[in-house]
Amino acid sequence: MSHYLILSALLFSIGAVGVLIRRNAIVVFMCVELMLNATNLAFVSFSKMHGNLDGQVIAFFVMVVAAAEVVVGLAIIMTIFRSRRSSSVDDASLLKY
């Protein structure tokens, strides 16, 4: 059973590395989605391990929240792109100065 958890941990770490090394805001966002999916896999595995469906319900709620998050996040990326003509996370650095 721990196979599934290890796979989930690997996918989560790959997503985290992606968030750290990528510059394109959309790709960073996709990596965040990958991390959410990895946690969902862990929830489903735990659900099977404990023999009740609570884990699956939580995974379902994670999916709903992720869908809402994607909508708002992509709208923000679009707005930033419209004003700066760039989707790189390095270019939105105005708060630094």
Partner 1 sequence: MVAFWILAVVSVAAALGMIFQRKAVYSALLLAVVMLSLAALYAVQDAPFLALVQVIVYTGAVLMLFLFVLMLVGVATVDSLVETLSGQRIWAAVAGLGFAGLLVFGIGNAVFAADAGLAAANGEGNVMGLARLIFNKYVFAFEVTSALLITAALGAMVLAHKERVSPKANQRQLSEQRFKSGEHPGNLPSSGTYARHNAVDMPALLPDGSVAERSLNPVLTARGDTVDRHADLAGESQTEAIAGDVEAVEKTVEEAQK
Report how far residue 40's alpha carbon sits from residue 24's, in angstroms, rounded to the nearest whole number: 25
The answer to whether residue 94 forms part of the interface with partner 1 (CB under 8 A) is: no
Q: Mark 32-71 with x for binding to partner 1 (rule: CB under 8 A) and - for no binding.
A: -xx--x--xx--xx-xxxxxxxx-xx-xxx-xxxxxxxxx
**Residue 8 C-beta: closest distance to partner 1, Å:** 9
How far is residue 21's CA from residue 18's CA, in Å, rounded to a whole number?
5
Q: How many binding residues for partner 1 (CB under 8 A)?
A: 69
Using CB under 8 A, pick the residue from 20, 94, 95, 97 that binds partner 1: 20
**Taking a C-beta distance cutoff of 8 angstroms, is the pair 55, 44 a contact?**
yes
Cβ of residue 7: shortest distance to partner 1, in angstroms?
5
Bridge-partner residues for 24, per DSSP? 88
Least CB distance to partner 1 at residue 40 (A): 7
Distance in angstroms (rounded) separating the CA atoms of residues 40 and 26: 21
